[in-house]
Every structure is written in C-alpha cells, then in structure tokens.
C-alpha cells in the first residue's frame, strides 16, 4: 500500500533487496573468522554504524514509487547516489494536481533566522495567500491545456507549455537507492533544518525502513538522528 | 567573459584544471614504457577516445557559472557525476527574470513523434501563447513578492512562496565536472533529441571545451558526436 | 549454484531485484501516456538500449559472491559504480589457494603489440614457469603462516604478513551492481582486449545475466558487444 | 617537491583547483543575499563543516602523483569518489622496489583485538621475518624477470608474470579527488584504526591540505578528526 504524504502525494515500496541479515552476511565476509567477538546481528550492526563501516549497509537496496511536488523533487534529486526515472513532461501531459498547504503549514518567514519558518499565517493574510496559490495554479493549468490543445490550432509543444506550470504541481518517479545512502538522505531530510514538505516524505520513508530493517534503523536512529557531535575544541 | 544563452542566461568559466597534455600525462603513467608507438599527443588522445579509455579524460576538470531557466535546470541536474551549488530560494529572493521563447522557437508539438517539436507557431496562436507566458509569469511574480512582503503583514516563508513561480524563471549555479563526464553530458544534450533550450547551453559549452582542450574536443566530435553505431545484426 | 571459474574461483548469485519487466515499468513512467507506439517489452528494451537511455536499466540490481585471484580483483575493483565487501586480510587468515594457469593459457607476450598475449609457452620454458609459479606461491605461503604463527613467538600482524603473498592468491567478495553498470563492466571485460583471467569471469556473468533478463541481455549483445562504431570521418 | 613516505614511496602535488575562497564563493551562491550574518570566510567554512553542508567543499579539486605498495593501493582504491590512472603491469615492466618495514614498524598481531597491531617484534623473530620478506621479494622478482625475458625463449606475457609478485611491490598512480571526498578519505585513513602503512600517506596529505586550504583544514581537524560523537542513548 501507499503511504499518503501532503495533499496528493505518496510513497510506495515497489521492491527491495536484502535485510538486516544481508548486512551481517556481507560484514562477516570482511571480518572472516574474526567475528566471534560480535555474536549477534544486532550487536554487529550497531558496531558497524558506530564505526562508520558503511559498505555493508550498501548491500541492501530499496525501490520506491513517489508522487511529490516539483519544488520537493528539486531538493530530492540533489542526492546523486540513487537511480531515478521521472514522469516526462516532454512526452506526456501532466495532471492537474497542485500542492496547496494546509492552514497550519502556511508558515511565515522566520524572524530569527533567514532559513526557516515562523508561526502560521493567520486571518486575511492566510486567506489571501491561499487564494493566490489556488487561482494562479488553476489559471496556469488552464493556459497549459489551452496551449497544447490541437483543437483548431497547431498546439504548442508539451516540452514548452509545461514551463508555464508552477513548482507546486505534482510529478512522479521511481527512486532506487541503497540503504547507506538512504540513511544519508534521511539524516539530512528528516532533520529539523529540512523544509517541512520534504521532511514529511523522509518521515514516511523512516517508517518504511523501520519495518524493513529494524536493527539497522534502530542503530541509525541512535547514532545518526539522535546523536550529538562535539568539536575537538568543545571536548 | 560570459557566453550569453537564451534571453537572460549565460555560461561562464570560473576555473579549470588540466589540458590536452594532462590527459596524455595520465595515460602515459598507465602505458608506461610502452607508449613509444603512439608518439604525439593528438594521436594518443584519438586512440584513448576510440577505445573508450575514459579515465585519462577524468584528469581534467572545469567549473562553470551558469544562469538557466528552472525547467532546463531540472534536466541538467539529472547528470549526477558533477558538483553543484545552486542559488537558494529558501534563503534568498529570486529575481524577476523569465525565459520567454523567441518567435522562431515557439514550436508546435511534432505530429510525427511524441517527443519532439514541429514548426513554429504562427499568427494569432503564437501571439496568444506569448501573452499567456508573459502575463502568467508577471502575475506569479507579483504575487510571490506580495506574499513574502513583511510590510504590514507577517510575510509567507520564502521556501513556500517560491512554489507559485513557474518553471521558466531563471536560477543560477556553480557546476563543476570532469572532462569525461562533460563529454557524456554534451553527447546527450548537444544531440538533436535534446530539448532546444538545453541544447543551446550544451553548444555554448562545446565552444568553451574546443578552446580549452582542442585535441580532446576534436576526438570527441569525431568519435562521439559524429559517429554512427551499427548493431551486430545490422553489420 | 556457483559457476566455477579458473582453477579455484567462482561466481554465485546471492540475490537480485527486478527483471525485464521492471526496466519497462520504469521506462513507461518516463514515457507516460506516450508509450503506445512501442508496444511490447522486448521492443521497448531494444529502443532504450539503442538510444543510450540507460537509467531504466539501473532499476535492476544483482548481488554476486565471487572468488577470484588478487590480480583479477585489482582490475575489477576499478569499476567504481558497485558496492563491495571483501574478505579482510587484516582480520582473517587467507587460505592457501593460488591461481596457476593451465598449459593452454600460459601465454607468451605478444610480439605484435605491447598489451596482449601470443601463443602458449611450450616445452621446457612452460615447465620452468609453472615450477616457479608453484614453488614461489608455496614458499610465500609457508612463510606467511610461519610469520603469523603465535607458537613460541610473538607472531607478525596479519596485516603485515600478507604483504609477502603474491597476486595469484585468491580472495573473495560480495559485489552488488545495477544492470546498466554491469553491462558497462561486461562490455569492457568480456571484450577481447581484457585479460583472459578477468574475461572468463565476465563470460560467466554474461550467462547469469542472459538467464536473469533475457530481453535486456539480447539488446546488450546486439548493440554493445556486437556493434561496430564508425567515426564521423569514417562515415 | 615530493613528500617521501615509507622506504620508497612519495606523494607529490601535480595540480589543484580552488582554495578556501572558492568554497565560500560557491556557498554564497547558495545563501545569496542571506549571508550577511556569517561575515568572514573562516566563520562560513566552520559553519559549513559543522552542519555537514558538504557540496561547497566539492568545489576544490587536487591531483596527486603517488608511489605506494600494492597492499596499500588495494585499500586506497576502495575510495570510489576519485579519478585514477595507475601504472600498468600489462603494458610495462614493474620496477624492483619493495616495501620492507623498518624495525619499529614490524609489529606483532595485537593480542587484545583481532584488527590491530601490538608491540614491534624483537630479536631473532624480527630478523627472521625481515629475511623472509627480503628473500621472497628478491626471488619473486628474479623469476618475474626471468619469465618475461625474451632472450632465447618466448617470454611469458607481462600480464601473467606479474602474478608472481608479492603485495609489497611498489606501484604508482595519478589520483584526483575533490576536497569533500578527500576529507572523507583522510578521516578514515588518518585514523588510528587505519593500517600504519596507509596512515602515513594520509598524514602526508594532511600536511599538503593544511598548506593548500588552511581554513578548511582547520575546520576539518576540529569537527571531524578531533570530534567526539555521542549516541542518542549516550546523551
Ligand atoms: C533526450 C533525453 C530524454 C530523457 N527523458 C527522460 C525521461 O523521460 N525521464 C527521466 O527520468 N529521465 C529522462 N532523461 C534523463 C536520463 O534518464 C538521464 O538521467 C540523464 O541523461 C543523465 O544521464 P546519465 O545517468 O548517463 O549521467 P550521469 O548521472 O552523469 O551518470 C554518468 C554515468 O555514471 C554512472 N552513475 C552516476 N551516478 C550513478 C548512480 N547513482 N548509480 C549508478 N550509476 C551512476 C553511470 O554509469 C552513468 O551512466 C532524458 C535524457 C535525454 C538526453
Ligand atoms: C538543509 C539543507 C539546505 C540546503 N541548501 C542548499 C543550497 O542552498 N544550495 C544548494 O545547492 N544545495 C543545498 N542543499 C543540498 C546539498 O548541498 C546537497 O546537494 C544535498 O543535501 C545532497 O547531499 P549529498 O551530496 O551528501 O548527497 P549525495 O549526492 O547522495 O552524495 C552522497 C555522497 O556521495 C559522494 N558523491 C556522490 N556523487 C558525487 C559526485 N558527483 N562527486 C563527488 N562525490 C559524490 C559524496 O561523498 C557525497 O557526500 C541543501 C541541503 C539541505 C539538507
Ligand atoms: C579501518 C578500515 C577497515 C576496513 N575493513 C574492510 C574490510 O574488512 N573489508 C572491506 O571490504 N572493506 C574494508 N574497508 C573499506 C571500506 O569498506 C570502504 O570501502 C572504504 O573505507 C571507502 O569508504 P567509502 O565507501 O565511504 O568511500 P567512497 O567510495 O569514496 O565513497 C564515499 C561516499 O560516496 C558514496 N558512493 C560512492 N560510490 C558509491 C557507489 N558505487 N554506490 C553507492 N554509493 C557510493 C557513498 O555515500 C559513500 O559513503 C575498511 C576501511 C577502513 C577505514
Ligand atoms: C583493456 C583495459 C585496459 C586498462 N588499462 C588500464 C591501465 O593501464 N591503467 C589504469 O589505471 N586503468 C586501466 N584500465 C581501467 C580503466 O581505466 C577503468 O578504470 C575501468 O575500466 C573502469 O571503467 P569505468 O571508469 O568506466 O567504470 P566505473 O568506475 O564503473 O564508472 C562508470 C562511469 O561512472 C562514472 N563515474 C563513476 N565513478 C566516478 C568518479 N569517481 N568520478 C567521475 N565519474 C565517475 C563515469 O562516467 C564512468 O564512466 C583498463 C581497463 C581495460 C578494460
């Protein structure tokens, strides 16, 4: 089944390879006869995570089908250690689906720092913003449709017409990645510094990973998500 | 100086490392004493290109500053073997600059195949399309500005407001890549199947590369751009 | 089951993800509604291969367990787009197993070019070479064992003792790679320019891939292995 | 000039691109108008390092010429995010140069853990080990030379003959890498868990990097090399 995210998005597992045992199997090839000391899988996985022995985690792979707004896709695609096939706006006609933030996520610019969000907008200001987002999306899509229509006219090339569409339109892709690089993605995107709209995808994936490789996820949560790093000077 | 591309874009060389001689220097480490047969640099470079000995070309590196529409950036970023720093729409306010195709590039959808362009639009249809593209960009940007304004209101977070902006808005980035992977990029994006708007960037970069590493570029042009591949069955 | 290669080596499939249908599934996300023209999977796969649309092939993944001589491993590991866990000579004691070429593969240096092999050695010369290879391996391993022994002595660190072992000793690893990059590996290593000892591994993997993704393998064979490339000037 | 490492090895800078200022230049594209808060380059670099904003560090690139024993090269090459051209033992004849540990680095296997070294060997045991290492190297090389000789015989192919050579023989390569991935390499290989023989190379490179990008190196030293990481449970 698909995990629903935002107003029209989702994350859905298509396939995966490997599990906690596969991580240990690979790690034990490396350690060979010398693994007697770390007896159980969970202990071995925690040891690997703690010492940044990342290659055994690359032995697991997952493939997801994701539907997401374009501005989220633009952040996501920056993670280069993955395999991607995206819906093509050159060949195909995009669907009329736009992300419109819910009231509580219509956040103001933070006044404390440049990069974050403050309180949710309220009252008239919130209403005005929502109206614009909706009206501009609708109009942009109406024109998109009208431009590509071949009804009584030539019809603009799809690859050109899509440039009129705003960044809150939804796209889709298949996204395949190994577990080590997925953890790296999750550390950066399930983090408080990440934009809310990508963070909810990362959080949905955290749930998926927790089910898939519980021991690895627990180690990740402890040593990466929840960890504190002290600088040499700080120590 | 910057090479101008499209209506507001450019490609500008920031820095580079290596040249034709650096390719040969690296290749000769591999060949060692055995390189007497291939005497001159040009011949050696052609030999490497012909036999897909790609690693010596990785010994050259170039860094570009590029200004480009977002829908072009979305295609470009799919090339993962590069280093990128893009202008941030979370921290910063985007400029009011949009790509509006010139008359001769306002192409119709091809009727022969799904993926390409046909003739340029003409007459009223062309005028209507241009009006829409301009009006929608302008209105979207007006609303963007109005939404983030902190004048007498809270002001929507920049990271949210930008979702209202269409894909023809310009962005900028630093893009660094090695010569082998740049050739791979150019083969795919200076090709007739690539969308016109990214192809003009690829062509501008071809000019840059031709100046930078003339022998390597000549070999690339001959064995990649201009080459014909016959299938086994076809032979 | 394991595919035997050379005198003590093997290639064994541990796991895989995806198949011919998975390639098409991903490709059709990209093509969207526009795929009616390419009806069947085989045709679509041939189309993708012919046009260097490589990302759908990245949607398949395979994990192999390989046992191979160190000098083969040194060539193999140069393919960076894979995930690897190798048996550790720091933690573990290596086995006494060495590659000794069979008579017909004890080839002379080519007299025509610097990089290849000529006829097999014969007579006394062949016998002498085999004697040396065997005797030196045996002696090196005897000393390795004697050096690390902790019987009545401190015992040299394993990570140091192994430096005495020649490059024909066997090692093992788990090796995981996507299908696109595996094809790239096979094109370079199942090729006549590759050293015989790695070529036989590539050939064993070709058999595995043919069983796994028959349509993709057929397209690869036709458009990569069997193809002929003509330079622009040659055309 | 070359930095000498071990008995016959070295690290030599061939070329580099970028410096501390280039890191900041790229980072400021991303931050845009929002960088007023972090005023000076050093502060900005420390901020980037602390928050794992790694892509600006990828904007610097260095190319090294390295001479190193094969068993060190086997560890080094596992770092895939680099460009490499190695001296070819297929085309060329390898030199008669072997790493022989100095007395104080002829370490015993650790008795506390499986992966490390203990005290240096002493007395007769040390002498015996050194004798074996030297004698086996010499004999292996004598046979290598005799096998490839074409004096009155066919001469074994170089690509085969080299399999007789032990892992302490020296090889050479050009190695090019960006600063972010170089820091990753240095964190793993200048670390106490790394084998002494690769650690001395990492330390030589640390000196080079300190000269090249002093602010970035200082931040790296403080936040990576010297840092302490506490698990969530530990906090
Ligand atoms: C005409 C055209 C139409 C296209 N249409 C679509 C479309 O409809 N949908 C779509 O999604 N894309 C489409 N693309 C994009 C295409 O699928 C590639 O993403 C893009 O061309 C980058 O190519 P690349 O992967 O070879 O380059 P790079 O990412 O630079 O990779 C170069 C090589 O490095 C290796 N590599 C790099 N990173 C990885 C990694 N993480 N894992 C494994 N190997 C790696 C691979 O060997 C790869 O071939 C299209 C491209 C073109 C040119
Ligand atoms: C909160 C936040 C704010 C951000 N703000 C900005 C911004 O303003 N501007 C901006 O441009 N980006 C921004 N980013 C994106 C960021 O710079 C990275 O591009 C993104 O997080 C992907 O991280 P990565 O490079 O570590 O991941 P991946 O691309 O998955 O790479 C993982 C690792 O693989 C290696 N690697 C993979 N590909 C290559 C390659 N081609 N060359 C060398 N090494 C490679 C590197 O070691 C890398 O660390 C932001 C990210 C976050 C989380
Ligand atoms: C003390 C020590 C002991 C070790 N013992 C062993 C051992 O017993 N057995 C063994 O096999 N290895 C061993 N290694 C090697 C180790 O497993 C790594 O291969 C090596 O340290 C390189 O690290 P890396 O993968 O992070 O670096 P790089 O290969 O440079 O990669 C950097 C980052 O880029 C990304 N990346 C690059 N290429 C790919 C790719 N193809 N696919 C996905 N992501 C990619 C990943 O995010 C990766 O973390 C040991 C290393 C150390 C330091
Ligand atoms: C017949 C033959 C002779 C050879 N002789 C020599 C020799 O004498 N000396 C020598 O050093 N090597 C030699 N090689 C090895 C060769 O140079 C390559 O290292 C090896 O073939 C791997 O190829 P690759 O780089 O295309 O594969 P991969 O490493 O799997 O890379 C595939 C593609 O991914 C991208 N990519 C992956 N990692 C990176 C990265 N870190 N940076 C940028 N792009 C990346 C590139 O686009 C690359 O083409 C030889 C190989 C063959 C087949």
What is the nearest CA distance from D122 to chain B, expressed in angstroms? 40
Placement of tokens 């995107």 in the chain: A189
| Partners of chain A (3+ Cβ pairs below 8 A) | B, C, D
Give the number of residues written for chain D.
Answer: 235
**Interface contact C33-A85, CB threshold 8 A:** no
Q: Is the pLDDT of residue A137 over 60?
A: yes
Tens-place pLDDT, residues A79-88: 999 999 999 8
Predicted pLDDT at C233: 73
Closest-lying ligand 1 atom to the alpha carbon of residue C52: 26
Tens-place pLDDT, residues A163-182: 999 999 999 999 999 999 99
Q: Are strands D9-17 and C9-17 parallel, antiparallel or unpaired?
A: unpaired
**Interface contact A223-D229, CB threshold 8 A:** yes
For residues C109 and B113, the model is more confident at C109
pLDDT band at B215 (very low <50, low <70, confident <90, very high): very high
Closest partner CB to C34 (pick from B52, B114, B227): B114
Predicted pLDDT at A38: 63
Closest partner CB to B15 (pick from D17, D58, D85): D17
What is the nearest CA distance from C113 to chain B, expressed in angstroms? 9
Q: What is the mean pLDDT of residues D177-187?
A: 98
pLDDT band at B34 (very low <50, low <70, confident <90, very high): low
- Residues of chain A positioned with their CB less than 8 A from the CB of C29: 85-87, 172-174
Q: Taken in order C109, C115, C119, C122, is the CA torsion positive or negative?
A: positive
Chain centroid to Cα D214, Å, comes to: 20
Task: Output phi, psi for B15, to 5 deg.
Answer: -170, 155
Q: H helices then E strands: how many in chain C?
A: 8, 8
Of A216-230, C33-47, D35-49, D118-132, the least confident: C33-47
Residues 6 or more apart in contact with residue B228 via CB below 8 angstroms: C229, C230, C235
Task: Give yes or no for D20 touching B (CB within 8 A).
Answer: no
A162: annotated active-site residue:
no
Give the separation between CA B122 and CA B159, rounded to whole angstroms: 38
Residues 6 or more apart in contact with residue C209 via CB below 8 angstroms: C62, C179, C182, C186, C216, C217, C220
- Residues of chain C positioned with their CB less than 8 A from the CB of D191: none
Mean pLDDT, chain A, whole residue set = 93
**Pocket residues for ligand 2 (CB within 6 Å)?**
A 78-81, 181, 184, 188, 193-194; B 80-86, 88; D 30, 54-55, 58, 81, 178, 181, 184
What is the nearest CA distance from B67 to chain A, expressed in angstroms? 16
**DSSP bridge partners of B117:** B109
Instruction: List D residues 123-182 in contact with A (Cβ-Cβ < 8 A).
Output: none
**Interface contact A55-C16, CB threshold 8 A:** no
Q: What is the mean pLDDT of residues A4-22?
A: 98
Q: What is the mean pLDDT of residues D79-107?
A: 95
Which helix (H) or strand (E) element contains residue C24?
helix C20-31
What does the block give as tokens for A230? Answer: 């002290």
CA-based max dimension of chain B: 77
Cβ atoms C3, C207 nearer than 8 A: yes
What does the block give as tokens for B126? Answer: 């062309």
What does the block give as tokens for A209? Answer: 């990973």
Predicted pLDDT at A114: 63
Mean pLDDT, chain D, whole residue set = 93
Say if ligand 1 is within 6 A of residue C35 CB.
no
3-class state of residue B181 by DSSP: helix
Q: Is the pLDDT of residue B235 over 70?
A: no
Give the separation between CA B232 and CA B117, rounded to whole angstroms: 31
Q: What is the mean pLDDT of residues B16-34?
A: 87
Predicted pLDDT at B227: 73
Closest partner CB to C163 (pick from D71, D84, D160): D71
Chain centroid to Cα C190, Å, comes to: 9
pLDDT band at A227 (very low <50, low <70, confident <90, very high): confident
Predicted pLDDT at A33: 55
Placement of tokens 């000789």 in the chain: D149
CA distances from A117 to A108, B109, B146 (A): 6, 42, 17
Predicted pLDDT at D35: 55
Chain centroid to Cα B117, Å, comes to: 19
Cβ atoms A173, A85 nearer than 8 A: yes
Start-end of H helices in A77-178? 123-148, 158-161
Q: What is the mean pLDDT of residues D158-178?
A: 97
Ligand nearest the Cα of residue A185 is 2
Q: Is the pLDDT of residue D205 over 70?
A: yes
Give the separation between CA B94 and CA B87, rounded to whole angstroms: 9
Radius of gyration of chain B from its Cα atoms, rounded to whole angstroms: 22
Start-end of H helices in D149-195? 158-161, 179-189
DSSP class of residue D121 equals: P
> Percent of chain B scored above 70 by pLDDT?
94
Q: Is the pLDDT of residue B114 over 70?
A: no
Q: How many CB pairs under 8 A join A and D?
A: 61
Local confidence pLDDT in tens for the 235 residues of chain C: 899 999 999 999 999 999 999 999 999 988 765 555 566 899 999 999 999 999 999 999 999 999 999 999 999 999 999 999 999 888 889 999 999 999 999 999 887 766 678 899 999 999 999 999 999 999 999 999 999 999 999 999 999 999 999 999 999 999 999 999 999 999 999 999 999 999 999 999 999 999 999 999 999 999 998 777 777 776 5
Tens-place pLDDT, residues A92-122: 899 999 999 999 999 998 877 666 788 999 9
Predicted pLDDT at D232: 73
Q: What is the mean pLDDT of residues D59-83?
A: 98
- Residues of chain A positioned with their CB less than 8 A from the CB of B107: 156-157, 160
Q: Is the pLDDT of residue A48 over 70?
A: yes
ipTM rounded to 2 decimals: 0.97
Mean pLDDT, chain B, whole residue set = 93
Atom 34, ligand 3: which residue's CA is nearest? D81
Predicted pLDDT at B113: 65
The crossing angle, in degrees rounded to 10, of helices B196-212 and B179-189 is 140
Give the separation between CA A123 and CA A218, rounded to whole angstroms: 42
Q: Is the pLDDT of residue B11 over 90?
A: yes
How many Cα atoms occupy the beta-carbon half-sphere of A116 within 13 Å?
Answer: 10
**Interface contact B228-C229, CB threshold 8 A:** yes
Cβ atoms D131, C136 nearer than 8 A: no
Placement of tokens 């006044």 in the chain: A111
Cβ atoms B16, D17 nearer than 8 A: yes
Say if ligand 1 is within 6 A of residue B194 CB.
yes
Cβ atoms C81, C177 nearer than 8 A: yes
Predicted pLDDT at D231: 74
Q: pTM to 2 decimals?
A: 0.97
**Interface contact D229-A225, CB threshold 8 A:** no
What is the nearest CA distance from C98 to chain D, expressed in angstroms? 10
What does the block give as tokens for C52? Answer: 């260097």
| Partners of chain C (3+ Cβ pairs below 8 A) | A, B, D
Give the separation between CA A49 and CA A225, rounded to whole angstroms: 12
Tell me how many degrees the CA angle D26-A80-B158 measures, rounded to the nearest 5. 55
| Partners of chain D (3+ Cβ pairs below 8 A) | A, B, C
**Interface contact A115-D188, CB threshold 8 A:** no
Q: What is the mean pLDDT of residues A140-158?
A: 96
Q: Taken in order B54, C112, D87, C186, is the CA torsion positive or negative?
A: positive
Best CA proximity match to B138, nearest among B169, B114, B102, B106 = B169
Predicted pLDDT at D111: 76
Give the separation between CA A99 and CA A137, rounded to whole angstroms: 9
DSSP class of residue D227 equals: -
Task: Give yes or no for C83 touching A (CB within 8 A).
Answer: yes
Predicted pLDDT at C84: 98
For residues A230 and B124, the model is more confident at B124
């Amino acid at each position: 089944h698909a995990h629903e995210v935002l107003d029209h998005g989702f994350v859905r597992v298509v396939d995966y390879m490997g599990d906690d045992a596969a991580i240990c199997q690979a790690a034990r090839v490396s350690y060979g006869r010398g693994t007697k000391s770390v007896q159980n899988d969970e202990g071995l996985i925690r040891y690997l995570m703690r010492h940044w022995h990342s290659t055994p985690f690359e032995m697991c792979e997952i493939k997801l089908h994701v539907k997401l707004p374009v501005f989220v896709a633009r952040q996501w695609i920056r993670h280069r250690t993955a395999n991607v096939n995206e819906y093509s706006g050159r060949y195909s006609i995009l669907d009329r689906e736009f992300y419109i933030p819910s009231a509580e996520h219509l956040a103001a610019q933070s006044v404390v720092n440049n990069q974050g969000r403050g309180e949710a907008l309220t009252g008239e200001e919130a209403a005005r913003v929502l109206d614009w987002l909706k009206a501009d999306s609708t109009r942009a899509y109406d024109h998109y449709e009208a431009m590509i229509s071949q009804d009584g006219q030539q019809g603009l090339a799809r690859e050109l017409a899509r440039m009129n569409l705003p960044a809150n339109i939804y796209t889709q892709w298949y996204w395949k990645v190994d577990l080590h690089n997925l953890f790296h993605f999750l550390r950066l995107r399930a983090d408080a510094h990440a934009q809310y709209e990508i963070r909810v995808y990362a959080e949905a994936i955290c749930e998926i990973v927790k089910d898939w490789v519980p021991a690895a996820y627990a180690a990740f949560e402890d040593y990466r998500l929840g960890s504190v790093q002290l600088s040499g000077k700080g120590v």
